[in-house]
Amino acid sequence: MSRFYVLLIAILLGSMPVAQAGVTPAEAEALKGALTPVGAERAGNAAGTIPPWTGGYTTMPPGYRPGDPRPDPFGGEKPILTITAANYTAYADNLPEGAKALFKAFPDYRMNVYPTHRTAAAPAEVYENVFRNATRAHAVADGLSYGVEGAAGGIPFPIPQSGLEVVWNHLLAFWGAAREAHLSTYVVSAAGNVDLGASYREVADFPYYAPGVTPESVGAYYFKTRHIEDAPPSKYGEAYLAWQPLNIARTKFAAWRYVPGERRVRRGPSLSYDTPDPEASGFETLDEYYIFFGGPDRYDFKLLGKKEMYIPYNNNGLYQRPVKEILSRNHANPDDLRYELHRVWVVEGTLAPGKHHIAPKRRLYVDEDSWFAVYSDAWDEDGRLWKFGHATMYLVPDLPAIVLGSQFVYDLILGGYVYGFAFNGDPIQYKVTPPHPESAYTPETLATEAIR
Amino acid sequence: MSDRPQITDEELHAYIDGELSRVRAADITALAQYDRELARKIAAFRADKARLVELYGPVGERPVPAAWLHTIERAQRRSTIWPSRQTIYAIAASLALMVVSMATYKIIKPSDEDPTVAQALAARHESLVMTDAAGTVSTMEAANHVVQDILGPTIKTPDLSKLGYTLAAAHAMPERKAVTIDYRDGQNHVFTVYLSHSPGTERFDMLKRGATRICVWQDEELSAVMVGEMSAGEMLRLATLAYAGLTAA
């Protein structure tokens, strides 16, 4: 073959999206050895400050009923370290940029660090699926920026080779197959005023984790959610429906909104990417839900590596505190939050060519055990550090799992922050349920279920 | 910082070339009478166009390159109908003009090709210039009437007082079936909401033109383009409050 044809073929191949595949069967065997069933390092660290993973926390309190508030199994512990504005520089390498900015700005900001408990767990079926996914998961035809195929029922890339694989693991992390909750979003202004952005009844399903699911049966959408608002009065009866696709090049994100004044369901606007969250008064964008949510295609994600960081973890105590106590001026009340030292994957996204986003650069910190992003830093178009996303990590032994939980999003430029997915004080908290029928997520049901 | 955004260059070139609708062209003619900067820009673009014609205008009269003629004649030999020599010259001249036009377009092509944004910026400009014109209202109640007359009974004038902005003026633009609502804050910063019927597609975009931030937020029925000189964070908060207020109970 002439050099010309070789070059031509190379160019053509280079211009085609790469169908990234999983690891080899031999590599996947590590999930039964040095790695945990979901790909974390099974061993602790050399210093002994991170213990080995021994199966996670699966102990149910006696007499537990689904939806009951879950107790804090580590409530009796005392902090082993307090990071403050005075000493944070000594721990700078173990902190996200957003936390450093809060230390710099507010002398009373601090992190109480407790002993590390590697509580992450999952059902056996999820572990089996992760093992299968390791060798079969791959990018969709348009590339991994647009979706994943060949995987179901567990994170797709337990031994990640790229930033996008880590991002997909976060997007497809295990929250259970379905849930019901009553959630609230609070907005704290720079002046310290607390406003209820919205309270709503949420029903959510993860068809990706439906019992017995396979890559062939999983369907087009991995996540569906329905919100019906009951407060404040100005939002009473508003409702939202959203379906998140597995292949965003083939199946578009779908969303509907019920407007009580019109008594009808309207399609869109697209509740995704940098559209402001209507429930958070524009303090956060919709892809800041769950720290990072929706299509990753607007960014080129690069895997920066793995490191030990102080992250929010096992925060069941937080959900037992009253909101009034948690939401102090400038930042959450440090006494209500628990931090632990864990290993996280660090991934950085910069704006992809031809795409736009109001935050052209963001960095995600993803817990190795649960695969949830626990922090995000985001920069504005002038390169200023702008947003800081902060998960809380809620231990749900009845799944069993540790899930992302409620979250804070700080605006480091204009001031103020949002506390979202809050369920403090609600008698039914994050109720794990069997999957809901598909009819629960139709626009017709949205109109029927809406309050007025 | 100026509160007055510019009409896009694309729209001005279309205006000079006579390609705008009669209504829009009349708008710009009227605006140019009030706005010295706009009038100066129109004059400058007209002068540029004249220079281009001066530079490339004689191309059509120049002799056609021999190689082009040879190609055209060879093609014609295969044809049963022989066009006249003048026709050949005309084709060649057209080709030459096409090349020149494409090169010229590339040079003067404006960056903003978004008609939704261009229309909103022009409307904002117009509304700021004509603050005291007939049809301008400045109370919430009157603004609601204006909005509902044009866009339907379920749409309301958003109340932005929570973020320090009060209604300055609302203008009906019945020929475009649109409404412009201007708000001002304590420092006299202007935030404009341009409302019209949606072209039927969903859209959310945040754009920047110099110091001006533009937020396009539309569903299948209503299009809202919000404009102001502010940071992305400020625009997010204002746009969210405004958009929610359009359909508030």
Identify the CATH assignment for B114-246 out of 3.40.1000, 1.20.80, 2.60.40, 3.40.50. 3.40.1000
pLDDT for B49 equals: 73
Greatest mean pLDDT among A230-234, A371-375, B19-23 lies in A371-375
Q: Is the pLDDT of residue A360 over 70?
A: yes
Please state the rounded mean pLDDT for residues A112-121.
98
CA dist list (Å): A181 to A185, A435, B118:
13, 14, 44
Looking at residue B19, its pLDDT comes to: 77
What is the pLDDT at residue B44? 79
Query: pLDDT tens across A72-114, in order?
Result: 999 999 999 999 999 999 999 999 999 999 999 999 999 999 9
Q: Does B204 contact A266 at a Cβ distance shorter than 8 Å?
A: no
Every domain of chain B and the residues it spans? 1-113, 114-246
Nearest to B39 by CA among B47, B31, B51, B48: B31
Check CB contact of B236 with chain A, cutoff 8 Å. yes
Chain A residues within 8 angstroms (CB to CB) of chain B: 234, 236-237, 257, 259-262, 266-270, 273-278, 280-283, 285, 356, 358, 380-381, 386, 411, 413-414
Interface check for B208 against chain A (CB to CB < 8 A): the answer is yes
ipTM beyond 0.85? no
Average pLDDT over residues A306-325: 97
- What pLDDT score was predicted for residue B168? 93
Q: Which residue of B has its CA nearest to A262?
A: B154
pLDDT greater than 60 at residue A161: yes
Q: pLDDT class for B116, splitting at 50, 70, 90? A: confident
**B205 contacts in chain A (CB < 8 Å):** 356
Q: Is B151 on the interface with A (CB under 8 A)?
A: no
pLDDT of the residue at B32: 66
Single-letter residue type at A71: P
Mean pLDDT of the region A328-350: 98
User: The tokens of A224 are what?
Assistant: 């569906």
Query: Across the strands, what pairs with A358?
Result: none
User: Tell me, what's the pLDDT at B34?
Assistant: 52
**Per-residue confidence (pLDDT) for residue B41, from 0 to 100:** 81
Instruction: Write down the pLDDT at residue A449.
Output: 84
The rounded percent of chain A whose pLDDT value lies above 70 is 94
Q: What is the pLDDT of residue A267?
A: 81
Lowest mean pLDDT among A86-100, A258-272, B162-176: A258-272
- At B94 the pLDDT is 63
Of A16-20, A26-30, B26-30, B86-90, the least confident: A16-20
Domain limits, chain A: 81-201+244-250+271-435
Contacts of B203 in chain A (CB under 8 A): 269-270
pLDDT of residue B25: 72
pLDDT the model gives residue A6: 44
- CATH number at A81-201+244-250+271-435: 2.50.20
Using 50, 70 and 90 to split pLDDT, how confident is the model at A439?
very high
Quickly state the pLDDT bin for B234 (edges 50, 70, 90).
Answer: very high
pLDDT at B111 over 50: no
The answer to whether B237 contacts A266, with C-beta atoms less than 8 Å apart, is no
List Cβ neighbours of A288 (8 Å cut-off, separation of 6 or more). Answer: A277, A376, A378, A387, A389, A409
Q: Identify which has the larger pLDDT, A322 or B3.
A: A322
Q: Read off the pLDDT of each residue in A386-408 and give the average, rounded to a whole number.
A: 98
Q: What is the pLDDT of residue A379?
A: 98
Dihedral angle, C-alpha B29, B30, B33, B36, nearest 10 °: -70
Q: Which of A260, A266, A414 sits opposite B219 (nearest CB)?
A: A266
Hey, what are B67's tokens? 């190689």
* Closest approach of B239 to chain A, Cα-based (Å): 8
Contact A188, A416 (CB under 8 A): yes
Q: What is the mean pLDDT of chain A?
A: 93
The Cα–Cα gap between A445 and A450 comes to 8
